[in-house]
Structure 1
Amino acid sequence: MPHCILEYSQNLEQEVPPVDMLEAIKEACIESNVFASEDIKLRSLPYKSFMTCGQEDAFVHVMVRLLSGRTPEEKKKLSQLILDALTKFSLKDVSFSVEMCDMDRETYAKKVVLSQ
């Protein structure tokens, strides 16, 4: 686990394929040494309509949802690694942000249903 959710303004797809940004996020998660690569879940959401202060400003935002119990230092390191990985793309006039969201470990539920 974590669940890494990439949100971005759709106009950026012309410059960087979303799969490339997801790959950069995955590599940052691996580099953090907090997660095994097979536990990292990634997905993306493009936004067709977006505004900041009444203007259409391009953005990339990553929400990292992880089970509670990680130290502030681990979360800060992961956040910075993801931010550094994304800002290496040659995007200009873009706002980048990374958000760490704890999921309560005691109430989180999961079940994987496989075909037989």
Structure 2
Amino acid sequence: MPHCILEYSQNLEQEVPPVDILEAIKGACIASAIFSVEDIKLRSVPYKSFITGGQEDAFIHVTLRMLSGRTCEQKKRLSHLVLESLTKFSLKDVSFSVEVCDMDRDTYAKKVIHSE
């Protein structure tokens, strides 16, 4: 855990490859000391159409979904580390946001199927 979901305006791909942003998010998750590197799951979703405040403004939004049980301070530090990692790309006219969401431990289900 966590599931790190990068949503971004597709026009940013011309300036920064999405895989670079994912690597920055992964680095921030590792720096938080909450997760093991092998537990971090990352994926990205580009948006072709987007409007912010009535304009087509570029954005990056990261949702960090993790099992419940972390303290508010841990989650706050994690969101700030991720936000800091995003702003290091020196992008201009971009809105950055980070959201930490708890997944209920009692109802979360997971199964990994390996090939033989």
Q: TM-score w.r.t. structure 1 length? A: 0.99
Matches within 5 A, 1:1-116: 1-116=1-116
Deviations 1:14-38 (A, max 9, x none): 0000000000000000000000000
Structure 1: 4+ residue segments shifted above 2 A: none
**CA–CA distance in structure 2, aligned partners of residues 111 and 72 of structure 1:** 28
AA aligned opposite 2:36: A
CA distance in structure 2 between the aligned counterparts of 1:8 and 1:102, rounded to whole angstroms: 22
Write the letter of the residue equivalent to 1:39. D
Extract unaligned runs of 5+ from structure 1.
none
Q: Which amino acid aligns with 1:73?
A: E
1:26-82 Cα deviation digits (max 9, x unpaired): 000000000000000000000000001221010000000000000000000000000
C-alpha separation in 1, matches of 2:55 and 2:17: 23
Distance of 2:33 and 2:54 partners within structure 1: 40
| RMSD between superposed Cα atoms in Å | 0.5
User: Which secondary structure state, in structure 2, belongs to the residue aligned with residue 101 of structure 1?
Assistant: strand
Query: What secondary structure is seen at the aligned counterpart in 1 of 2:97?
Result: strand
TM-score, normalization by structure 2: 0.99
Tell me the number of residue pairs that the alignment of Structure 1 and Structure 2 aligns. Answer: 116
| % identical aligned pairs | 78
For structure 2, the 5+ residue unaligned runs are none
Question: How many angstroms apart in 2 are the aligned matches of 1:36 and 1:53?
Answer: 38
